[in-house]
Amino acid sequence: MVELSQHDIEIQENRRHWERKPVLQKVYHAFYQEIARWTLKEKKAATVELGSGMGNIKKVLPDCLTSDLFPNPWLDRVENAYALNWRESTVENLILFDVLHHLQHPGRAFAEMARVVIPGGRVIIFEPGMGLLPRLIMHFCHHEPVAFRQPIEWDAPPGFDPANHPYYAAQGNSWRIFVNKEGLAENVLKDWEVIHVGREPGWAWLMCGGLRGPQLYPSALLPLVRFLERGLRFLPSLFAGRLLIVLQRRQPA
């Protein structure tokens, strides 16, 4: 049985914080709109979100099927990224919002995603960004480790059981893989073409404290914060607090 307790506790706590922070809801709505911009619209197959948590993506993508490791009334399915309950080539868009840094063996997960995503389909990943200043903020102010020096265990060990794995978090993994290209040997993403790596400021999110931290500006100043963010785009290595990655499934040889 997957170690669900910590993950489930966090979802329930996040839901309480979400309800008390209207500005955070607006910030996330903009994040979902950016994700939606990269989804394919041909509807050849399903659009699915893994690790949906509170299921808020439906406010922007109402046809998206939401899922997580455990059932909740607002979710459509129970799914495990290491062992998906989808037949081969039945998913057009697969969305992971703050999920990849919880996958201890990303290579195993990407292989499973390649099985279910149609050729030409997409995986859209939205993660914490690790520009220098956000990295310091996340290191000192967030309960999950950045783990920038911890080895990335790309492949699952022999005997790995997808239904029985511990809680894991390493917020820096996506930046290390897709920006620093750490450990990206030629065959690691053999099934995928990286078509976009967007390093976004995300300071409206950082300054509102995310789900759990203190909100540093009133809701009325959100437009001003978003305006100021535009200037931070020019130095992503220093200011990027969010990371948007888009992978496209290669056509079979």
Q: How far apart are CA 211 and CA 6, in angstroms?
A: 16
Q: Please tell me the predicted confidence (pLDDT) of residue 104.
A: 95
Residue 186 sits at the vertex; the CA angle it makes with 180 and 192, to the nearest 5 degrees, is 85
129 has a pLDDT exceeding 70: yes
* Domains of the chain in sequence order: 5-249 (3.40.50.150)
* DSSP codes of every residue in 82-144: TB-SS-TT-EEEEEEES-GGG-S-HHHHHHHHHHHEEEEEEEEEEEE---HHHHHHHHHH-SS
The 10s digit of each residue's pLDDT in 140-183 is: 988 899 999 999 999 999 999 998 888 899 999 999 999 999 87
Output 187 or 248, whichever has higher pLDDT: 248
Tell me the pTM: 0.93
Where residue 212 falls among pLDDT bands split at 50, 70, 90?
Answer: confident
Where residue 9 falls among pLDDT bands split at 50, 70, 90?
Answer: low
